[in-house]
């Protein structure tokens, strides 16, 4: 957040004080609901009687202020702002009889419920942590009895150990060094090897697809690999001056013939 201040235009002391009055410290909040709960406290009423309309206004004001200060707000704050703007319009405008969605009042009531529930959880969490706790206020036996008869070995393992062991096995494959599974891959080297042996006999233009090796034509995966390798090998041979290539039009078969056979 401090970076955001640094990058923005210089802020006067007065402007900064004004901003602080609005507590624009988004970092202090755990999400939009938390921010809403804090804002709702300024209404100084029971959460059950809170004005959602007023709260929406406060939240939108907060977001405006943050924008004016060029603070970057996380996306979920903006999503909440958009939703509250929508809610505000639903609450202010007369209900549309054709709309069978939830009414503005229903939505507002649910938001009030969420705020009350979060406040209640905060409250009981604090009460829970304030209880007398084992090892802090209440103590177990400091010296569990050590009776040395009947020593028994017990193997221990926790659920966490078990789950981590499983995860380790199941993710092992993801992290082995990267190796291509080669059984469906025909390499350019293999294609070159094969074609070097065959082009000597190819005096006439022949479709390069006729050079696909045995057993690589039916399975589409293997066929694709062999085609790519054969094509690459053909270009390689043409570059080396050993063959000529031609294609009559786009997508037409690519044909090849040996140069040596013709020239030599």
Partner 1 sequence: MADAPRDTLFDAPPMGDQERMVEAMLFASATPLTVANLAARMPHGCDPAEALAHLRRRYDGRGVHLVRVGDAWAMRTAPDLGFLMRNEVVETRKLSRAAIETLAIIAYHQPVTRAEIEEIRGVSVSRGTVDQLIELDWVRLGRRKLTPGRPVTFVVTPEFLDHFGLESARDLPGVAELRAAGLLDNRPPPGMGPALGEVDPDDPPPDQSELFAD
Cβ partners under 8 Å of residue 235, min gap 6: 245
Residue of the chain from 49, 98, 170, 239 that contacts partner 1 (CB under 8 A): 170
114 binds partner 1 (CB under 8 A): yes
Q: Identify the residue whose tokens are 């419920």.
A: 113
In angstroms, the CA 175 to CA 167 distance is 12
Query: What is the 3 state secondary structure string of 161-225?
Result: HHHHHHHHHHHHHHHCCCCCCHHHCCCHHHHHHHHHHHHHHCCCCEEHHHHCCCCCCCCHHHHHH
Encoded one letter per residue, x for contact with partner 1 by CB under 8 A and - for no contact, window 12-31 reads ------------------xx
56 binds partner 1 (CB under 8 A): no
Hey, what are 92's tokens? 């202010």
In angstroms, the CA 117 to CA 179 distance is 52
Q: Which of residues 67-106 bind partner 1 (CB under 8 A)?
A: 76, 101-102, 106
Closer residue to partner 1, CB minimum distance, 41 or 246: 41
124 binds partner 1 (CB under 8 A): yes
Residue of the chain from 70, 133, 196, 201 that contacts partner 1 (CB under 8 A): 133
118 binds partner 1 (CB under 8 A): yes
Residue of the chain from 44, 151, 182, 239 that contacts partner 1 (CB under 8 A): 151
Residue of the chain from 9, 94, 142, 197 that contacts partner 1 (CB under 8 A): 142
What Cα–Cα distance (Å) separates residue 90 from each residue in 93, 119, 132, 191?
6, 25, 48, 68
164 binds partner 1 (CB under 8 A): yes
Q: How far is the CB of 57 from partner 1 (least distance, A)?
A: 19
Residue of the chain from 158, 214, 263, 264 that contacts partner 1 (CB under 8 A): 158
């Amino acid at each position: 957040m401090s970076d955001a201040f640094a990058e923005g235009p210089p802020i006067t002391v007065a402007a900064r004080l004004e901003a602080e009055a609005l507590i624009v410290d988004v970092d202090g909040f755990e999400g939009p609901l938390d921010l809403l709960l804090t804002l709702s406290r300024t209404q100084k009423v029971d959460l059950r009687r809170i004005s959602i309309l007023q709260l929406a206004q406060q939240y939108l004001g907060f977001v405006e202020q943050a924008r004016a200060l060029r603070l970057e707000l996380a996306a979920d704050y903006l999503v909440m702002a958009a939703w509250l703007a929508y809610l505000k319009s639903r609450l202010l405008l007369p209900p549309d009889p054709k709309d069978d969605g939830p009414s503005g009042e229903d939505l507002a009531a649910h938001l009030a419920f969420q705020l009350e529930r979060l406040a209640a959880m905060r409250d009981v969490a604090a009460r829970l942590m304030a209880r007398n706790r084992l090892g802090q206020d209440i103590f177990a036996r400091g010296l569990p009895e050590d009776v040395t008869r009947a020593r028994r070995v017990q193997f221990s393992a926790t659920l966490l150990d078990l789950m981590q062991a499983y995860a380790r096995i199941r993710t092992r494959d993801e992290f082995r060094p990267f190796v291509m599974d080669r059984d469906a891959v025909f390499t350019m080297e293999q294609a070159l090897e094969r074609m070097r042996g065959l082009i000597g006999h190819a005096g006439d233009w022949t479709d390069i697809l006729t050079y696909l090796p045995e057993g690589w034509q039916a399975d589409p995966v293997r066929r694709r690999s062999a085609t790519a390798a054969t094509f690459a090998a053909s270009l390689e041979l043409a570059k080396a001056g050993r063959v000529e290539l031609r294609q009559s039009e786009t997508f037409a078969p690519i044909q090849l013939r040996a140069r040596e056979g013709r020239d030599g």
